[in-house]
Structures are given as structure tokens and as C-alpha cells.
Chain A
């Protein structure tokens, strides 16, 4: 945001106020960025509630929820992709620098019923639009454990690793817990 990029943040795990408070401590004001149109924020938890408990009228307003896949039997993430594409495609009045897509965290989509292939397709389409067409960047967070038995998650993580330019792996120390050093990157 301080670099002047247009940002689309798909925040699935925490509420807006969590990110806002953390960002404030780091010197960035998310609320202001949202108000001036630089930040498009998808609060997954709230969207999910709107989808699940929402009134019928909202449904008919024409715009499908980005988390539409949760209530459908086919789990394609097209609605989510459309949301990202619309958010980051620059309008004529936009003067922002390259777009950035942030996702926290992709593993949640699997917990919500999306198939691994659907998740990978979603990322693929995002890369085509955000990286190739719009010359922007994508930053995605996933959970991963060495002794994880979540094969679907492993599939997504491995595939993402192959397609990524940079992988930042944060983990605890191999020697165990230490009070002063939380872990290594």
C-alpha cells in the first residue's frame, strides 16, 4: 500500500479489524486505503455469514457472493475469481501502480469444500490476469506441516511451490521451542 499499488486482499481467516489493528502497528491504515479505493477487501467470514444467513433480496440483486461455491454442489471458484478480476482491473480514473493480490489463507478454501483442483484452477486464472495481463504480483499464504496427513493440502502446496518465484517458509526451530527465537525462515 505505501508503494502505491492497487491491492485486493482476500482475507479468509480473520476479520477486517484484526488486519487493520495489526497494520496500524506497522504504520499502514487499511481503513483509509479502503476509503480511497486503493484497497479492495474481501472479509471471508462476513461474506460467508451473508451467504448463509442472508435475506432472499440480496440474492436477487444479481451479484453472486464470492464464496458462492459453498452453497453449490460443484465447487468451482469462478465467483471468487470474478471478484478478484473486477477488483484489480484498473478503471480509467485509477492511477495506482501494479496490482497485488493477497490471499490469507488458501488452505481455508479446502476446509470449505473446494476441491484441490478447483483451488489450483483459481490460482491459475488469477496468475493469468494479475501477473501476465496486468503485470502485477500475487502473494498467497498456505498452511503446511511436515507430518501433515492432509493430502489435498499437500497437493495444493506442492503445486504452488512449483509455480512460485519465491517461497518463504516460516517454521519453528528443529531443536524445539525457544523463548527468544521463535523460529526460522
Chain B
């Protein structure tokens, strides 16, 4: 399940009110304001926005702050990991600094597998069209039966991003090493971290989490993301990606036990992380093996502590994989939390039914469109249910078959 986006970056050296007026002045002067590379200022929210690496997801979420973003993992962690890679890849293309943490895979390997950006304009527009094209019909065709709908605007399959923000990536290719050359990155690979006593107070938190927090805090201070170095250099964003937090590899037993010894380490970690993100120019995405966490209360708390939670439910291995209703998609997208930073409401998209699909080169998130049901039944039932009923009937279990849907005699 879900994506978590960590708290948004805040410009530390300027009070939000001051920031707003200075932006207005500059905007009035006609010059483009780009205080930090790869970001866009939002006057309305007094925030810097950045792209998560997937333009179709950016538009679903309304806008991007940078609070903890949590991605509950899909069953095999495939798709959530992909989103994590998009997030990191976007960081490289924008020239941000990266911090990658994992207990499972060495961060160097994760970074080697990032998708290649489509920086070539023709390629971009080709794929952008592929991503946003509705199945457009010839507008001259008049509708016969559904004439009432003729005048309604065409639905777009993919929510269109409101501005040209973010990049597209080709997942069939990995990012060229040259693009990394000017990028600074930090890694935290748990098995290689020395086991020393952390200086920070233990807080009764799992020691792996404690070490990770200390590492993140150290980088934020050292590299000046908390504004401590404001005069010296060009401001930049720190993108933090954490893989499979909460899994057994982090020394946490919430995934392996019904009654874990320590139910609070993960949530305490998130709270401290949230604090760190709020006071620095950073953004964070975490994947969490939510499907393995027995105690559902923990995931509820994780959701409340995250700015954004987006879950990907993959169809692999489920009955939906063969269901013709979902044949165009690879899974569903569940948005559990969207950011409401500096605002009472959020920019919510007007649809809640989202699905994703993974083509050879592109991963997109789209509105779920069910194909027209051309069968003889009155109601839209899944064809599997009908097939099952038919089988039962033919074997003479009439009474049972009637229990399944809608076969009248």
C-alpha cells in the first residue's frame, strides 16, 4: 500500500509572509522566480512544490509539498519500489541531493537501476501523448442511443498536469552514469552501519531507526538544508528515499508478529522525521510493507502522521488479473492521504477511482475506465461470476447456482 510523501520543504530564511510579497514583486517584474532548482513556488500555499517523478501522480495529488510520503507496498513491492525510483530519478534530473536508505538492497544498486529520463523533446511529446490520450472518437460521429451525453466534455483518461512540471522516464532503460556525475548523494545501508551508540537520546526507539534518524539529521545540518548555511551557496533540495521501513530487516517485529514487542518505534520514527523535514528543504518517500503488518492500528497511525499516503494494489496473483473488466490495467491506486500544508483544504482531483498501468516504457496513473459491458445480463457482473454459475448449473447444482448472480429462468 501507499505512498508517503514527507513534509514539504520550507524556505527557512524567509517568513512565509515575506516570501509571498517578494514573489509577487518579482513576478510583477516579469522575471521567472526559481529560488531552488527543480521546484516551483506556490504563493497560495507559501510552499515550494516539487514533482514526485510521475506527472500523472503529481496531478492526482493536487500539488506537492514535501511532508512524509508513505507508500504502502503492493504485495511484491514491485510498483512501490518503482515509484521510489521515479522520485529519486527526478531528483537527479533536477540536480537535487539524494539520500537513499535501505536494509535490504545496497543504495548503490538502487541508484544503478533508476529509469532513464526522456530529455529528448520528440520522445517526450510522443510519450506524453501516449500517457494522456483519451480514446478519442471522431467528433463527427453523432451518438444514437446515448445522445444525451453528446454535449458533455470528453473525459480524459489521465488527469492532465496543470503545468509543465516534472519529467517522463523510460523504464526499459537505466539512467546513464553521466547524469550522476554532478549529483551528490548519501547512502545508508543498514548492514554496513557501524554499531556505535548513537549520541541522540534513545527515545525507546528501535536502534536501526535511531541510527537512520541520526544519519539524516547529520546530513541535513552538514549540507545546510536547515538554512544554517544560507549565505554561502545555492539552495537545494534533499530527496530522501527509504525502502521497506518497518520490515524485519530493520529489526522491527511489526511485520512478523501479531503482538509486537514495540508498537511505537515506527510511529515515533515518523514523527521525528516529520519534524526534520518540516524544518529543512527536504522531501521524503518511504515504502512500507503494510500488507505484512498484522496490527492494523499501526498503519492507521502511520497514515495520520504522513502528509501523503498512496497505496498501489497490484493485480498480480489476484482474481482481478484475469478479470476482463480490468484488462487494461495492472492495479489500482488508493489515495489515503493528501497534503494539506499551509491550507485548510487540499487540491483534490475530482475522481477517486484510479488505476495504474505499466507499459513497456511508461508507468501511468489514470482514471479507472470500465469497458462497456456488452453481455446479455442486465447488471454489470464480473464474467467470472457468470462462468462459475454456468458451471454449477451444468453439473446439476441448480439451487447453488441461483445463489450466484442474476441467472433467471
Contacts and interface: CB of A to CB of B under 8 A. Distances in A.
Pairing of A with B: yes
A107 B305 CA distance: 10
Interface string A69-88: 01101000000000000000
B276 A17 contact: no
B300 A52 contact: no
A15 interface: yes
Interface in A134-180: 143, 145, 148-153, 176-177, 179
A52 B203 CA distance: 7
Contacts of B296: 149-150
A99 B10 CA distance: 32
A148 B297 contact: yes
Nearest to B300: A150
Contact of B272 (A15, A24, A52): A52
Contact of B10 (A17, A24, A149, A177): A17
A18 B350 CA distance: 25
A73 B342 CA distance: 35
A17 B20 CA distance: 13
Nearest to A24: B17
Contacts of A20: 16
Interface stretch (B50-58, B90-98, B263-271): B263-271
Contact of A110 (B203, B217, B276, B301): B301
Q: Which of A22, A49, A73, A108 has the most CB of B within 10 A?
A: A49
Given A15-B10, A52-B213, A111-B267, A73 B304 contact: no
B271 A148 contact: no
Given A71-B204, A108-B305, A145 B272 contact: no
B275 A111 contact: no
A47 to B, nearest CB: 9
Contact of A21 (B301, B342, B345): B342
A45 B46 contact: no
B40 interface: no
A133 B17 CA distance: 38
Interface string A96-139: 00000000010110111100000000000000000000000000
A18 B279 CA distance: 12
Interface string B141-161: 000000000000000000000
A22 B203 contact: no
Q: Interface on chain A toward B: helix, strand, loop, or mixed SS?
A: helix
Given A18-B342, A143-B304, A149-B300, A111 B271 contact: yes
A5 interface: no
Given A111-B264, A113-B204, A151-B297, A21 B271 contact: no
A113 B304 contact: no
B201 A148 contact: no
A22 B344 contact: yes
Contacts of A71: 201-204
A148 to B, nearest CB: 6
B343 interface: yes
A46 interface: yes
Contacts of B305: 13, 108, 111
Interface string A13-40: 1110110111011000000000000000
Contact of B200 (A52, A112, A150, A151): A52
Contacts of B274: 45
Interface string B1-30: 000000000100001110000000000000
A45 B275 contact: yes
B26 to A, nearest CB: 20
A150 B343 CA distance: 28
Contacts of A108: 271, 304-305
A10 B218 CA distance: 28
A45 B201 contact: no
A105 B271 CA distance: 13
A153 B341 CA distance: 24
Contacts of A15: 10, 278-279
Given A48-B275, A71-B202, A149-B300, 16 more contacts: A21-B343, A22-B343, A45-B278, A49-B272, A52-B201, A53-B214, A53-B217, A54-B201, A71-B201, A110-B301, A111-B268, A111-B270, A113-B268, A150-B297, A151-B297, A153-B300
Interface of A: 13-15, 17-18, 20-22, 24-25, 45-46, 48-49, 51-54, 70-71, 73, 105, 107-108, 110-113, 143, 145, 148-153, 176-177, 179, 182
10 contacts: A17-B10, A17-B342, A51-B203, A52-B200, A53-B200, A70-B203, A71-B204, A108-B304, A111-B301, A112-B268
Task: Give the top 7 A-B pairs by smallest Cβ distance, nearest first.
Answer: A150-B297, A45-B275, A111-B267, A149-B296, A21-B342, A113-B264, A111-B301
